[in-house]
Amino acid sequence: MDTTTSSRAIPQKSLADHFEDWLPKLVISPTFLAAIFFVYGYIIWTAWLSLTKSRMLPKYDIEGFFQYGKLWTNDRWLVALTNLGIYGTLFIGICLGIGLLIAILLDQRIRAEGALRTIYLYPMALSFIVTGTAWKWILNPGLGLEKLVREMGFENFTFGWLTDSDMAIYTVVIAGVWQSAGFVIALFLSGLRGVDDSIIKAAQVDGASLPRIYWSIIIPSLRPVFFSTLMILGHIAIKSFDLIMALTGGGPGYATDVPATFMYTYTFTRNQIGFGSASAMVMLGGVLAIVIPYLYSELRKPR
Amino acid sequence: MSSFSADTPHSSSVMGRIFIYGILLIVAGYFLLPLLVMVFTSVKSMEEIRTGSLISIPTSITFDAWSKAWSSACTGVECSGLSGYFWNSVWLVTPTVSISTFLGALNGYVLTKWNFKGADVFFSMLLIGCFIPFQVILLPMARTLGFLGLAGTTTGLIMVHIIYGLAFTTLFFRNFYVSIPNELVRAAQIDGAGFFMIFWKIMLPLSIPIIVVSVIWQFTQIWNDFLFGVVFSAGESQPITVALNNLVNTSTGVKEYNVDMAAAIIAALPTLFVYVVAGKYFVRGLTAGAVKG
């Protein structure tokens, strides 16, 4: 609908009508300006800083891409990237696995389905800080899970992942999956409910077994759900900050650093603004690489 | 294949059913256990925590840890519990949620019913704003707030949350208003109703469900936020998530796990409450916020 056609119904345009024509644009302009300035302007600002030698205070003389070069020789950054790789892969993989399996089982006309769904999803309402705090206690090497299992009779059981620099990143996976898997279950379940029944009935009539129906008909038809879930989880993984801060604080040492905590540490506690900005730009690049193709395909879809 | 009249295929052998329920219950246990541990630990004394185990049922219930978490636990140098920060978060959430939802509704209305040239481009631009990693705007925002004299204040934090919440609220309302027939607006225009009249009298009364979705989404997002809170607020004005993190990671004295757990539950209660009361809308917001373009 166009404002000009709608106001043509009124014979003569008064000043007030002109105002009415401009009103919608006027109303949306604060958001428009905010998006331009606070999103795009700030991205350019950060990009600019990443090309300078800024340390504690911003400097605006462009020196080139040397901060990016420094990133790739910085041990801590490489650890952060490796951690993101490990965490991202396991987090996404396990969430998708649990999500699909539980959604299929929940779709078997289960009594108390509603109650189970409520239980699976409630962690999603919590702050990652709460999740981190809870799991930090559960995984406590002295008094937590380890003690529980020992008291069950396994005297030599040890579970010190939280303070083991090689294993600590896996505790982040455990807590992250706990928080987000219910959401993936919900997404897959709504996907399953949308599958066309008639195709399934036809397959049943043809004598196809249940696992076969799932494997060759239902799961392939969930492709779009897989795609968008993958995108959402990838996005959550790259942005992960709170959970790591609360659960391990990036430690022991910097063993569980990820790009988000790396950026925070360098920019705000180590006062290396230029270097921190470069790491933020790399994060942006990573997110855009997965989001833009997704948005493009979503927006092109006929509505 | 079964006595059920199936609209979804399902297994119906007894063994199969036991297997299915077994797995579903085990997974439910995995999700519930941490909550149980939190509640149990929060009502135990430290003595009992050291002697008992993680999931042992508390023998004597004490709320000392709760009152300490609320009013006297140390969150850094300050030792006045979480209460002040809890109210900080309440004062933070109230204006941010209402303003961003209202502006989102107006934006959605303009984008769908007063289509102008470039509306789609603008919407795509805004959408990307939902996805950027906020690390990329932290430093410029910190500089801007400093310049405006708002660094470390609640007002500054409110501003930040409104700005970066707008993309989501606009998205919600735009996608909702797309399905409301344009004829409704046109008819009202012929009757002489103006821009705001149509918004107040026609659009808003139809929007109750999406307003609920938007309010719940914004409420949980902002209540649970840590990144903006830790970067843009300081000392007295910090939100509860930052205070909780400080409380847990304060290294002075003996670690009191019961106080940590009570504090975590206090920080979680408002959003848990919303989830229990309005779970349906919560899920709708999650899927709309995350999936739809």
Q: Which two tokens stand for residue A3?
A: 């404002």
Chain A neighbors of B11, CB-CB under 8 A: 108, 210
Q: How far is A101 from chain B (nearest CA, A)?
A: 10
The amino acid present at B169, given as its one-letter code, is T
Exposure string of A272-286, with b = 16+ CB inside 10 Å and e = fewer, is bbbbbbbbbbbbbeb
Q: How far is B61 from chain A (nearest CA, A)?
A: 19
Interface contact flag, B20 A242, Cβ < 8 Å: no
Distance CA B215, CA B218 (A): 5
Q: Which of A245, A283, A58 is nearest to B142 (CA)?
A: A58
Q: Which of A230, A114, A135, A245 is nearest to A179 (CA)?
A: A135
Q: How far is B240 from chain A (nearest CA, A)?
A: 10
Q: How far is A198 from chain B (nearest CA, A)?
A: 9
Q: Residue B78: helix, strand or coil by DSSP?
A: strand
- Residue A155 pLDDT > 80, yes or no? no
Angle at A249 between CA A247 and CA A255, to 5 degrees: 100
Angle at B117 between CA A1 and CA B112, to 5 degrees: 45
Q: Which residues does A2 contact at the CB level (< 8 Å), separation at least 6?
A: B115
pLDDT interval class at A221 (50, 70, 90)? confident
pLDDT digits (tens, 9 = 90+) for B120-160: 888 888 888 778 889 999 999 999 999 999 888 889 999 99
pLDDT score recorded for residue B288: 66
Chain B neighbors of A228, CB-CB under 8 A: 290-291
Nearest CB to B10: which of A102, A109, A279? A109
Tell me how many residue pairs between chain A and chain B have CB atoms under 8 A apart: 294
Distance CA B84, CA B74 (A): 12
Helix (H) or strand (E) holding B67: helix B64-71
Whether B35 contacts chain A with CB within 8 A: yes
Distance CA B155, CA B182 (A): 38
Domain boundaries, chain A: 3-50, 74-300
pLDDT digits (tens, 9 = 90+) for B62-77: 888 888 888 887 777 7
Interface contact flag, B139 A276, Cβ < 8 Å: yes
pLDDT score recorded for residue A24: 84
| Phi, psi (rounded to 5 degrees) for B75 | -115, 65
pLDDT digits (tens, 9 = 90+) for A18-32: 777 788 888 888 888
- Residue B4 pLDDT > 60, yes or no? no
Chain A interface disruption, residue of B10, B32, B135, most A CBs within 10 A: B135
Helix (H) or strand (E) holding B49: helix B46-51
pLDDT score recorded for residue B86: 93
Q: Which of B265, B212, B286 is nearest to A180 (CA)?
A: B286
- Residue A90 pLDDT > 90, yes or no? yes
pLDDT interval class at B250 (50, 70, 90)? confident
Q: Which of A128, A274, A101 is nearest to A189 (CA)?
A: A101
Whether A1 contacts chain B with CB within 8 A: yes
Q: Which residue has the higher pLDDT, A175 or A253?
A: A175
CA-to-CA separations, B119 to A188, B107, B146, B165, B292, in angstroms, rounded: 32, 11, 33, 19, 18
Architecture of the CATH domain B83-290? Orthogonal Bundle (1.10)
ipTM comes to 0.87
Chain A interface disruption, residue of B126, B130, B139, most A CBs within 10 A: B139
Q: Taking a C-beta distance cutoff of 8 angstroms, is the pair A173, A87 a contact?
A: yes
B contact residues 110-139, partner A, Cβ 8 Å cutoff: 110-111, 113-116, 120, 122, 124-129, 131-139
Q: Which residues does B59 contact at the CB level (< 8 Å), separation at least 6?
A: B48, B52
pLDDT score recorded for residue B2: 37
Which of A294-298, B95-99, B259-263 has the highest average model confidence (pLDDT)?
Answer: B95-99
Percent helix, percent strand, percent coil in chain B, to nearest 5: 75, 0, 25
Chain B neighbors of A303, CB-CB under 8 A: 178
Q: Taking a C-beta distance cutoff of 8 angstroms, is the pair A127, A121 a contact?
A: no
Report the pLDDT averaged over residues B214-232: 91
Whether B63 contacts chain A with CB within 8 A: no
Which of A124-138, A191-205, B109-123, B275-289 has the highest average model confidence (pLDDT)?
Answer: A124-138
CA-to-CA separations, B116 to A22, B112, B120, B177, B194, in angstroms, rounded: 10, 9, 9, 16, 17
Whether B10 contacts chain A with CB within 8 A: yes
Residue of chain B whose alpha carbon sits nearest to that of A23:
B195
Counted residue by residue, chain A has a size of 303
- Residue A39 pLDDT > 70, yes or no? yes
Cα-Cα-Cα-Cα torsion B156, B158, B161, B165, nearest 10 degrees, comes to: -140
Distance CA A256, CA A248 (A): 7
Interface contact flag, A120 B27, Cβ < 8 Å: yes
pLDDT score recorded for residue B1: 36
pLDDT score recorded for residue B95: 95
Mean pLDDT score across all residues of chain B: 85
Which residues, in sequence order, are bridge partners of residue B265?
none
Interface contact flag, A178 B226, Cβ < 8 Å: no
Which residues, in sequence order, are bridge partners of residue B78?
B75
Q: Taking a C-beta distance cutoff of 8 angstroms, is the pair B247, B260 a contact?
A: yes
Whether B57 contacts chain A with CB within 8 A: no
Nearest CB to A46: which of B140, B264, B268? B140
Q: Would the CA dihedral through B49, B53, B59, B62 be positive or negative? A: positive
Count CA within 13 A, CB hemisphere, residue B173.
Answer: 29
pLDDT interval class at A165 (50, 70, 90)? confident
Terminal Cα-to-Cα distance of chain B (whole angstroms): 40
B contact residues 225-254, partner A, Cβ 8 Å cutoff: 225-227, 230-231, 241, 244-245, 248-249
Chain B interface disruption, residue of A3, A26, A39, most B CBs within 10 A: A39
Q: Which residues does A208 contact at the CB level (< 8 Å), separation at least 6?
A: A216, A217
Domain boundaries, chain B: 14-62, 83-290
Q: Which of A287, A266, A250, A253 is nearest to A71 (CA)?
A: A266
Q: Taking a C-beta distance cutoff of 8 angstroms, is the pair A3, B187 a contact?
A: no
Q: Which of B141, B148, B154 is nearest to B93 (CA)?
A: B154
Q: Which residue has the higher pLDDT, B31 or A203?
A: B31
Distance CA A291, CA B128 (A): 8
Residue of chain B whose alpha carbon sits nearest to that of A206:
B1
Distance CA B17, CA B36 (A): 27
Interface contact flag, B135 A279, Cβ < 8 Å: yes
Q: Which residues does A29 contact at the CB level (< 8 Å), separation at least 6?
A: none
A contact residues 56-75, partner B, Cβ 8 Å cutoff: 58
Report the CATH superfamily, name and number, of domain A74-300: MetI-like (1.10.3720.10)
Q: Taking a C-beta distance cutoff of 8 angstroms, is the pair B30, B38 a contact?
A: no
Whether A243 contacts chain B with CB within 8 A: no
Q: Where are the alpha helices (DSSP H) in chain A?
A: 3-7, 15-34, 42-50, 66-73, 75-106, 113-121, 128-138, 145-151, 168-193, 197-205, 210-213, 219-221, 223-239, 242-247, 259-264, 273-300
The amino acid present at A142, given as its one-letter code, is G
